[in-house]
Amino acid sequence: MEGSLTAAFFVYLYSTQAVFMAQPLVGIIMGSDSDLKVMQDAADILQQFGIAYELTVVSAHRTPLRMINYASQAADRGLKVIIAGAGGAAHLPGMVASVTPLPVIGVPVKSSNSIDGWDSILSILQMPNGIPVATVALNASKNAGILAASIIGSFDSSVREKIKQYKDGLEKTVLEKVDGLRNAGYPNAFDQ
């Protein structure tokens, strides 16, 4: 199984060619390639917004020097945001945040050795003052990608417009559901 996940990981990396051509603005890192099934949603939404990203494995525990080098060089390499996903003890986001000036978004991953995901959530969420990590919900890398896009949108008006259109689309979807319930005969005094 591990070999097939590794193969799938590399196929995925090479299948998203258009966004990889530009200078990456977002780094997506994870403790293991087994986290790709969760972290892929961040890559997908960034690609939807046309934001160049890079994606790789950086383990806080198994490759600590790689982690330090990645985090400390990220800004100089042109990255603007790092999304770090980790399960179990989930030290990757916090350790990365400790050595980079960039914003770090942590994605708690419910892994096979997890305590229902709470260990990952609390490890990322409970950072000491001075080392902030923005933390999204368990396995919510799509939200991490949207947050990264919003950060980039704060200085890139074209990305900001794509975020606005995306959120307008969410509103339209909800309002269509409101109409659907009303048309199905459900009482709703609020929308009268």
Amino acid at 93: P
Position of tokens 């419910």?
Answer: 110
Give yes or no for residue 185 having a pLDDT over 60: yes
Split at pLDDT 50, 70, 90, the class of 143 is very high
For 102-115, how does the pLDDT look when each residue is reduced to its tens digit (9 = 90+)? 999 999 999 888 78
Only one residue has tokens 């990322």, namely: 124
Q: What is the mean pLDDT of residues 92-100?
A: 97
Q: Which of 7, 80, 2, 87 is nearest to 46 (CA)?
A: 80
Output the DSSP codes for 149-183. HHHHHTT-HHHHHHHHHHHHHHHHHHHHHHHHHHH
Pick the closest to residue 136 from 113, 102, 108, 155 (CA basis). Answer: 108
At 14, the pLDDT band (50, 70, 90 cuts) reads: very low
pLDDT band of residue 88 (cuts 50, 70, 90) is confident
Asked if residues 188 and 181 have their Cβ atoms less than 8 Å apart, the reply is yes
pTM of full prediction above 0.75: yes
What pLDDT was estimated at residue 9? 53
pLDDT at position 8 over 90? no
Q: What tens digit of pLDDT does each residue of 20-59 get?
A: 568 999 999 999 999 999 999 999 999 999 999 999 999 9
Query: Which residue carries 């003052």 as its tokens?
Result: 129
Q: Which two tokens stand for residue 190?
A: 């609020």
Q: What pLDDT is attached to residue 11?
A: 47
* Domain over 2-155 is classified CATH 3.40.50.1970: yes
Farthest CA pair distance, the chain: 62
Give the start-to-end residue ranges of the domains of the chain: 2-155, 157-186
Average pLDDT taken over every residue of the chain: 91
